[in-house]
Structure formats: structure tokens, C-alpha cells
């Protein structure tokens, strides 16, 4: 008669240990698979993007005025330049609105060129056909008319 090899205590212990290791190994691998699987992302409600902020009155006035400056400087005739000057003047509180041109600034202290008026400045643009300055500061009154203009060299 053949002896069953399973009856030996050492063989039984080795077999049980082998099954135990396999079972533990299988549990660990299942656990890893479960942990590795990402949780489904929650469905987010899409909110519409906020509407862009409306430009301020200052920004609108600067845009229009810069356009007028370019149009006057690049006018093909004196009549078209004069027409553009009249349109631009409608944006100002009066024809003697001061125009200050910053020629130098250091430590917050500004040096200005000789003050002029908007009428003189617009005619200067018409005569020289060069728009060398940009608007750095603008002041408006309660009705949206320009009361002071500060320019800088480009």
C-alpha cells in the first residue's frame, strides 16, 4: 500500500500554507484593482461663463477719442479733418478744455509741456499729420463730457 503524502504533517502544513498564501495574494490583488479603479467623476452642472464687464465711460471715451486723433492726423483733405474735429469737439465740455502733455515723469512728479486747449491740439494734429501721443488720463463731468485730458508720448 502506498502511503498518502497528504497525511504527513509537514506536507499538510506546506499545502495549507501554500493555499493561504495564494488566498492572501488573491485578496491583495483584488484590493489593488479596487483601489486603482478611479471613482466615477460627479457630473457637474455647467454654468455659463460670466458676461464680460461692460467698458466704463472713461474707456469708451478714450477709444472714441483715440480714433478721432488718428482720423484727423490721417485725413485726406482739410475738409474731412475739420469735420472730424467738429465731431471730436462734441465730446468735450467746451472748446477750451485743457490738454496737458507729459514730457517727463520721475518719482511721481510730472513735467508737462506748455498747456494747450483741445481745439489747438486737434488743429495741431491736422497740420502736422502726426499722432505722436496717447491718452494717459481723462476726466469726465457728470454728463460724460471730457473736462481734462492728459497725453503722453508713444
Q: Per-residue pLDDT tens for 10-48?
A: 677 777 776 666 666 655 445 555 555 566 666 666 777
Residue 89 within any structural domain of the chain: yes
Classify residue 3: in a domain, yes or no: no
What letter would DSSP give residue 8? S
Q: Write down the pLDDT at residue 35.
A: 58
| Grid coordinates belonging to 125 | 494734429
pLDDT in tens, 38-90: 666 666 667 777 777 888 888 999 999 999 999 999 999 999 999 999 999 99
Query: pLDDT (tens digit, 9 = 90+) per residue, 122-142?
Result: 999 999 999 999 999 999 999
Q: Is residue 4 part of a domain?
A: no
Per-residue pLDDT, 19: 67
End-to-end CA distance of the chain: 111
Domain that holds residue 77: 57-153
- According to the model, what pLDDT value does residue 5 have? 52
Number of domains comprising the chain = 1
Q: Looking at the domain assignment, is residue 12 inside a domain?
A: no
Asked whether residue 129 is domain-assigned, the answer is yes
Cell, residue 129: 499729420
Model pLDDT, residue 12: 75
The whole-number pLDDT of residue 43 equals 64
- Where residue 137 sits, what CATH number does that domain have? 3.10.450
% helix, strand, coil for the chain, step of 5 = 45, 20, 35
pLDDT band at 148 (very low <50, low <70, confident <90, very high): very high
Q: Is the pTM of this model over 0.85?
A: no
Kindly give, in sequence order, each residue whose CB lies less than 8 Å from that of residue 122, ignoring residues fewer than 6 positions away.
Answer: 68, 72, 85, 88, 89
Mean pLDDT of 139-154: 93
* Mean pLDDT on 143-153: 94
- Cβ-Cβ contacts under 8 Å for 45 (sequence gap 6 or more): none
Of 151, 120, 119, 122, residue with least CA distance to 138: 151
pLDDT for 138 equals 96
Packing angle of the helix pair 78-89, 118-128 (nearest 10 deg) = 160
Distances, alpha carbon 110 to alpha carbons 62, 100, 120, 151, in Å: 21, 10, 22, 12
145 lies in some domain: yes
Amino acid at each position: 500500500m502506498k502511503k498518502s503524502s497528504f497525511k504527513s504533517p509537514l506536507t499538510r502544513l506546506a499545502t495549507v500554507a501554500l493555499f493561504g498564501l495564494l488566498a492572501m495574494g488573491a485578496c491583495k490583488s483584488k484590493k489593488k484593482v479596487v483601489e486603482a479603479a478611479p471613482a466615477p467623476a460627479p457630473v457637474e452642472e455647467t454654468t455659463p461663463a460670466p458676461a464680460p464687464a461692460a467698458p466704463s465711460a472713461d474707456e469708451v471715451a478714450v477709444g472714441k477719442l483715440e480714433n478721432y486723433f488718428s482720423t484727423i492726423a490721417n485725413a485726406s483733405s482739410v475738409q474731412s479733418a475739420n469735420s472730424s474735429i467738429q465731431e471730436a469737439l462734441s465730446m468735450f465740455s467746451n472748446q477750451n478744455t485743457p490738454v496737458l502733455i507729459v514730457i517727463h515723469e520721475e518719482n511721481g512728479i510730472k513735467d508737462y509741456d506748455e498747456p494747450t486747449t483741445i481745439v489747438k491740439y486737434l488743429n495741431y494734429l491736422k497740420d502736422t499729420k502726426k499722432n505722436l501721443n496717447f491718452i494717459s488720463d481723462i476726466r469726465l463731468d457728470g454728463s460724460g463730457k471730457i473736462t481734462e485730458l492728459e497725453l503722453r508720448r508713444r
